[in-house]
Amino acid sequence: MSYLIKISSLFLVLLYIITIDACQKTQNPLIMLDTPFGEITAELYPEKAPTTVANFLSYIKQNRYDDCHFYRVVHLENQPKNKIRIEVIQGGLGFDKHPLELKPIEHETTDKSGITHKNGTISMARLEPGTASSEFFICINDQPELDYGGSRNPDGQGFAAFGQVLEGLDILEKIQNLDSKNQILDKIVPIQIKLRD
């Protein structure tokens, strides 16, 4: 009898540990970027970059990205004036002021978030710190010069990384290699962004 009680107690303890562990592992939001070249799946990190992720999700949930598209591609051959060269593709609502654009958000640096600019990292485009709003970019290959303390931006504050591509890196590379002039694509690439269930 005591043997059965011990087994039952052990089972209950294990069940309790598994339940606690499952509760602690909150699932990060997954998004899909649907392009004419295929789908890109990415994970967002709200615990590490709460302000930036909340902003990005607002654009998705409020249908503010209905006009979203990739329009800028940066590769090693089209940055003649830059000493520090990077590889990214940029998207959003475009360079011009857009009626669906939200107010700029607080800049979350990589030294605080712990999310660095690796291959497939999603990050916010900006001018000055605190000016990011609707425009984002995705890294092609590792880009440490975009992190806090990096030399790509003179202010040394880097860019606010907030997510990671899980599937579709090959699609990003296809887009990066499309015809462009002065980093601007000859034809924009429309994107439909939605939350994945």
pLDDT tens track for 64-106? 999 999 999 999 999 988 889 999 999 999 988 899 999 999 9
Judged against a pLDDT cut of 50, whether residue 146 lies above it is answered with: yes
The predicted pLDDT at position 11 comes to: 53
**What is the predicted pLDDT for the residue at 80?**
87
Task: Provide the percentage of residues in the chain whose pLDDT is more than 90.
Answer: 82
Give the length of the chain. 197
* CA angle at 156 for the pair 152 and 159, rounded to the nearest 5°: 70
Question: In this structure, are strands 30-35 and 38-44 parallel, antiparallel, or unpaired?
Answer: antiparallel
Q: Band of the pLDDT at 24, cuts 50, 70, 90?
A: very low
**pLDDT surpasses 90 at 195:** yes
Indicate if the pLDDT at residue 166 is higher than 90.
Answer: yes
Q: Which domains does the chain have, with CATH numbers?
A: 27-196 (2.40.100.10)
For the cut 70, the answer to whether the pLDDT of residue 13 exceeds it is: no
Share the mean pLDDT of the chain. Answer: 90
E-assigned strand segments in the chain: 30-35, 38-44, 69-74, 88-92, 121-124, 136-139, 161-167, 180-181, 184-190, 192-196
C-alpha angle 148-154-157 in degrees, rounded to nearest 5 = 25
* Of 191, 147, 151, 193, residue with least CA distance to 42: 193
With cut-offs at 50, 70 and 90, classify the pLDDT of residue 26.
Answer: low
Q: What is the pLDDT of residue 3?
A: 54
Q: What SS3 state is found at 188? A: strand
Residue 50: which region, alpha, beta or left (left: phi > 0; alpha: psi -120 to 50)? alpha
**Distances from the Cα of 103 to the Cα of 48, 81, 134, 160, angstroms:** 21, 31, 9, 16
Residue 142 pLDDT greater than 50, yes or no: yes
The rounded radius of gyration (Å) of the Cα atoms in the chain is 20
pLDDT bracket for residue 12 (50, 70, 90): very low
